[in-house]
Amino acid sequence: MSIERSHKYYREQINSLTRIPSLPLIATELMQVTNDDRLSVNQLLPIIEKDPPLAMKVLKIANSAYYGMHRKVESLRHALVIIGMKELGDLSIGFSVMNTLSDSDDPAGLHWDKLWEHSAGVGHIAQLLQESLGIQTGSSPYALGLLHDVGKIILYRLEPEKYVQIIEYALENLTSAEEAENHILGIDHMTIGSWVAEKWQLPESILNAIKYHHSPELVQEPANQVSTALVQIADIVANLQSISFGRNFQRSIPREETGWVILRNASQKLAEMDFERFVMSIEDEVIVIKELVKLLSGH
Ligand SMILES: [Fe+2]
Ligand SMILES: [Fe+2]
């Protein structure tokens, strides 16, 4: 199939509600509320309280090693202060999407836990990088990382057998996932992911991270360009530390990526930072990342 024809075909697949689930109402509500700059605890709390499994996760996360609190966090209100409201809103959107997409049917037996591990890892690294560089982005880098590769799960849901072939093709030909996807399906995870993000009306920052995490220079809006660049570099760091889904043979060098230039222009600190040391330090974070993924996926 030509690229145009396969794009048209998959566009129709995405538009038919039966193949791609709709986003849970709670995620839509959370997005509306967290888009508001005057976000208050009193707006956010009741929405999360309405969803006991979500509320439970939020508490668990506030109590996880990720936040390193010494005293037990028992109330949602307290958890909200620790995690931060905007972050919590974004995280909750991330969980909803995750839950919606990773239902129990796994027709070809791929281990998606690895993808979530990679995604949570990218989110965590993006956040650490943002802190080290002292840059402000309007959105939580964690949520962007968590969702950047969502298109892979969507392609798998649409074409389970072919997706297994894609992973094999990438392995045999030492190529990237997107090259293998384009070769076998005529579409890649960034494109299909961005269509679903549009359909679900996810925030612009998340849409950009999904669509352009391999080419952040294409993002128009400056703040979103920076947050997408954070995701690109964090993605490479995660793969360098083997927090990967499948095998990644594209040994990209962070300094040679467009995201590096974007971040360097956004913060002087990048030039001063010992980046190799930063990459090494991620090794110690792997356990924390894995613990968080277990909490998120509810195992
Ligand atoms: Fe990707
Ligand atoms: Fe990735």
CA of 52 to the centre of ligand 1 (A): 32
CA of 120 to the centre of ligand 2 (A): 10
Average pLDDT, the chain: 87
| 92 band by pLDDT with thresholds 50, 70 and 90 | confident
CA of 14 to the centre of ligand 1 (A): 19
> What is d(CA 112, CA 118) in angstroms, rounded to the nearest whole number?
10
> What is d(CA 22, CA 24) in angstroms, rounded to the nearest whole number?
6
What residues have CB less than 8 Å from 203, skipping those under 6 apart?
31, 35, 93, 139
Name which of 44-48, 83-87, 194-198, 250-254 the model is least confident about.
Answer: 250-254
Q: What does the pLDDT read at residue 250? A: 58
Q: Does the structure show a pLDDT above 90 at 243?
A: no
Percent of the chain scoring above 90 in pLDDT: 45
Q: Does the structure show a pLDDT above 90 at 189?
A: yes
Q: Name the region of 173 (left: φ>0; alpha: ψ -120 to 50; beta: rest).
A: alpha
Ligand lying closest to the C-alpha of residue 244: 2
| 163 band by pLDDT with thresholds 50, 70 and 90 | very high
Residue of 261 and 44 predicted with greater confidence = 261
> What is d(CA 141, CA 131) in angstroms, rounded to the nearest whole number?
10
Q: Are 135 and 267 in contact (CB under 8 A)?
A: yes
CA of 39 to the centre of ligand 2 (A): 30
CA of 83 to the centre of ligand 2 (A): 24
Name which of 59-68, 172-181, 202-211, 266-275 the model is least confident about.
Answer: 59-68
CA of 77 to the centre of ligand 2 (A): 33
Nearest in space to 166 (alpha carbons), one of 181, 182, 176, 156: 181
> What is d(CA 113, CA 125) in angstroms, rounded to the nearest whole number?
18
Q: What does the pLDDT read at residue 299? A: 46
Ligand lying closest to the C-alpha of residue 193: 1
| 289 band by pLDDT with thresholds 50, 70 and 90 | confident
Q: Does the structure show a pLDDT above 90 at 238?
A: yes
Q: Which residues are within 5 Å of ligand 1 (an ion), measured at CB?
A: 149
Highest mean pLDDT among 9-23, 130-144, 270-284 belongs to 270-284
CA of 194 to the centre of ligand 2 (A): 14
- How many C-beta atoms surround the C-beta of residue 283 within 10 A? 11
Q: What does the pLDDT read at residue 105? A: 66
Q: Which residues are within 5 Å of ligand 2 (an ion), measured at CB?
A: 149, 235
What are the respective helix, strand and coil percentages of the chain, to the nearest 5? 70, 0, 30
Ligand lying closest to the C-alpha of residue 155: 1
Tell me what the mean pLDDT of segment 74-103 comes to.
Answer: 81
Percent of the chain scoring above 70 in pLDDT: 95
Ligand lying closest to the C-alpha of residue 121: 2
Q: What does the pLDDT read at residue 274? A: 95
CA of 286 to the centre of ligand 2 (A): 16
Query: Is pTM, for the whole model, over 0.75?
Result: yes
CA of 8 to the centre of ligand 1 (A): 21
Domains with residue ranges and CATH for the chain: 22-102 (no CATH), 106-297 (1.10.3210.10)
Task: Summarize pLDDT for 210-233 with one digit per residue, the tens.
Answer: 999 999 999 999 999 999 999 999
CA of 177 to the centre of ligand 2 (A): 9
Tell me what the mean pLDDT of segment 239-261 comes to.
Answer: 82
Ligand lying closest to the C-alpha of residue 123: 2
